[in-house]
A and B are shown apart, each in its own frame.
Chain A
Amino acid sequence: MAQIVLKEVVKRFGPHVAVKGVNLQVRDGEFLIMVGPSGCGKTTTLNMISGLERPTSGEIVIGGQMVNDLEPGERGLGMVFQDLALFPHLTVYENIAFGLRVKKVPEAELDRRVRAAAEAMHIAPLLAKRPAQCSGGESQRVALARTIVTNPSVFLMDEPLSSLDAKLRVDMRTELKRLHERLKSTFVYVTHDQAEAMTMADRIVVMSRGVVEQIGGPLDIYRKPATQFVAGFFGTPTMNFLSGEIEARDGGLAFASQSLREPLGDALPADLAGRRIVLGVRSEHVEVGRGKTPGRVQLIEPLGNESLVFFEFGGDAPLVAKVDAETRLRPGDNLTFGFNPAGYHVFDAQSGARLN
């Protein structure tokens, strides 16, 4: 019913190509999150779905209908903006009623629907106020109420939580997810915050420089990033990357850099020997105290339940490992470490594509 399909969608702004041929299927009732660094084309893609931007080429199909030439208001979408875009001169009530007034909904029904939407977002006491008199969280709810009141089949959200403080942002995440459960509408959500994407999405679209890097469930993307970019974008702390090349050794393949020689197991095809690669290992797969390679602690960051240890070992950049909070290490201490081969991510040094 509200499936969205993007076919080879391109958007140019003068000489600059913001979106370079995106193909995407948003399933009905799905919570899809587009994530990427600023300038990756995610907001432009969202704006093309909404109709605020016209694609330079390609097709956008919503619910089986080609909508390229349809006005935004005719597409049956609701949108929450980054700055919320509440009308400052109208009361909260009139803000929520705006879309219904445009559609000339009869006064009695309008009143009933506005109050129901306000009730659902727990902002009934605010109806007579102006947006300027509402707190950040309240404004957020007003913006959501204004969107749900028209019953759109698709919700588009452009970084709606970015203006909230950290605590409120986490609370609103839960609330948005609950809203999605309740409405069962399609959500397309844009953010640059990977944690937001991981916690809320059914599926994540990772974009970079106008192209889709990977589409998949949050855990798929975390466990099997398709490119080095995706691997580096998801997870805190950032994944460790080691440049080196693949050597054939003892009948298997091994990773070799200036200071390290690590067997890679048998997950890789044998013809990769001699290839320049980047080996990615997340901090939880760096095992301090297990292996034989020596290193020296630079920095400890306690997180409470565990700690991050930054140490150098003779490579280009220091490595980071997640260790138990009880581990007694201090800057300057010597340690030995090894990798858990289950956590190896092998990327081509040139293209960044995953090889294992």
Chain B
Amino acid sequence: MSAVAGMTRAEAERAGARNVRRRRWRVVLRHAALIAWVAVIMFPIYWMIATSFKEKHEWVAWPPHWIPHDPTIKNYSQIFAFDVQESGVAREATEQPFNVWGPLVDSLLICTLSALVALLLGTFLAYSISRFNVGGRHFRHAILMIRMVPPIVIAIPLLMYYAIMIPLATETVLGTRILLFDTRLGVSAIYIATTLPFVIWMMLTFIEEVPYTLEHAARMMGAGRMYTLRRVVLPLVASGMVVTFLFVFILNWAEFLLALTLTHPDVVTLPVLLNKFQSASEGRLFGPQAAIGTLITIPVVILGVLIQKHLIKGFSFGTIRK
């Protein structure tokens, strides 16, 4: 018997086929829409990579050159050049040679250091908020509220402190001037402060997954708080810590406004460097800029893929029986 009374087998098959066809159409439409959206999202990235391989005259050619007509690695040789004068790729109109090495080291040091410190502090803070209810019931939400302040609002006041107040205060009190303005330490410090809420928030979700009874069991066997943390809690949230570290690293890696405000001329992070490839006499140097942009993007993509892998692992340790 077919499902609908009075319908012959052939009719039922035709209806089934119609259904299949309709479903296939829906799939095609959905994918078409998604592909179109991906194209919109990915086009600027493609354009950046393409531009990084273009000669100067192609950067702003009209009509646009969709693919580089004479591909070149000149832009890359310029940003990676050690001795700019010698390699003959120095910028024509200015005396200021730019390469990527100094800023790359600055960015790597600052981002790694600040993400590590923020991770360490944030993990322990999250643990104490989760287990001892530090700060009371609404503290965890209050922490996130800090992130609602736009960085531009604090950038200038921070500059005052970095450039004047802190050196003055330390000189008066300690006798030696501590400089935060235009130092790696200063940039790291503000990055730690701004990313700590994220770290706490993320680590809270991982730590709350660890059942209390595991810690109780360890305590019953005579383990102290630090031993329990080291042997039980931290191993269980390790993949969460990796995810958090990478997330925070990427945030800092791409940060521009605070780095721009709080440095000059010694410390230069990659996003700030990007902004320096322009001048009154020669305009924007789109080629080298695109090369740097591509360079900055590569670790973000790699870390993004890593995070994805770890996120799946991070949320799958539900091995305790409930």
Interface set of A (CB-CB < 8 Å, partner B): 50-52, 71-74, 77-79, 81-89, 98-99, 102-103, 130-132, 136, 139, 146, 150, 163
Contacts and interface: CB of A to CB of B under 8 A. Distances in A.
Contact of B220 (A50, A83, A87, A131): A50
A139 to B, nearest CB: 7
A83 B222 contact: no
B249 to A, nearest CB: 25
Contacts of B319: 88, 130-132
B219 A85 contact: no
B217 A81 contact: yes
B10 interface: no
A73 B236 contact: no
B5 interface: no
A135 to B, nearest CB: 11
Contacts of A139: 321
Interface string B195-229: 00000000000000001011011111111100100
B317 A88 contact: yes
Interface string B67-107: 00000000000000000000000000000000000000000
In the A-B complex, the 8 residue pairs with the closest CB atoms:
A73-B222, A88-B319, A99-B221, A85-B217, A85-B213, A132-B319, A79-B220, A102-B222
Nearest to A152: B220
Nearest to B222: A73
A124 B278 CA distance: 71
Main secondary structure of the interface of B (DSSP, over half): helix
Given A52-B216, A87-B232, A132-B319, A102 B221 contact: yes
Contacts of A52: 216, 219-220
Given A130-B319, A139-B321, A163-B321, A85 B222 contact: no
Contact of B213 (A81, A98, A131): A81
A74 B213 contact: no
Contacts of B232: 87
Contacts of B223: 73, 98, 102
Nearest to A82: B213
11 contacts: A73-B220, A73-B223, A77-B220, A79-B220, A82-B213, A88-B317, A89-B235, A98-B231, A102-B221, A102-B227, A132-B319
B145 interface: no
B222 to A, nearest CB: 3
Given A132-B319, A163-B321, A83 B211 contact: yes
Interface of B: 211, 213-214, 216-224, 227, 231-232, 235-236, 317, 319-322
Given A89-B236, A131-B319, A132-B319, A83 B213 contact: yes
A88 B218 CA distance: 13
A146 B222 CA distance: 13
A150 B218 CA distance: 13
Contacts of A103: 222
Residue of A81, A136, A150 with most chain B CB atoms under a 10 A cut-off: A81
Contacts of B220: 50-52, 72-73, 77-79
A146 B218 CA distance: 11
Nearest to B214: A85
Contacts of A89: 235-236, 317
A98 B320 contact: no
A96 to B, nearest CB: 11
A98 B221 contact: yes
B279 to A, nearest CB: 56
B240 to A, nearest CB: 13
Contacts of B213: 81-83, 85
Contacts of B320: 83-86, 88
A65 to B, nearest CB: 16
Contacts of A136: 321
Contacts of B321: 83-84, 136, 139, 163
Nearest to B223: A102
A99 B227 CA distance: 11
A81 B216 CA distance: 9
Contacts of A146: 221
A168 to B, nearest CB: 13
A99 B222 contact: yes
Given A85-B320, A88-B320, A98 B218 contact: yes
Residue of B211, B213, B216, B221 with most chain A CB atoms under a 10 A cut-off: B221
B283 to A, nearest CB: 57
A230 B217 CA distance: 32
Given A87-B232, A132-B319, A163-B321, A74 B217 contact: no
A150 B217 CA distance: 13
A93 B155 CA distance: 54
Contacts of A79: 216-217, 220
Contacts of B224: 73
B221 A150 contact: yes
B264 to A, nearest CB: 47
A82 B223 CA distance: 20
Contacts of B221: 73, 98-99, 102, 146, 150
B216 A85 contact: yes
B231 to A, nearest CB: 8
A50 B219 CA distance: 10
A71 B219 contact: yes
A102 B230 CA distance: 12
A128 B222 CA distance: 24
A40 B259 CA distance: 59
Contacts of B214: 85, 87
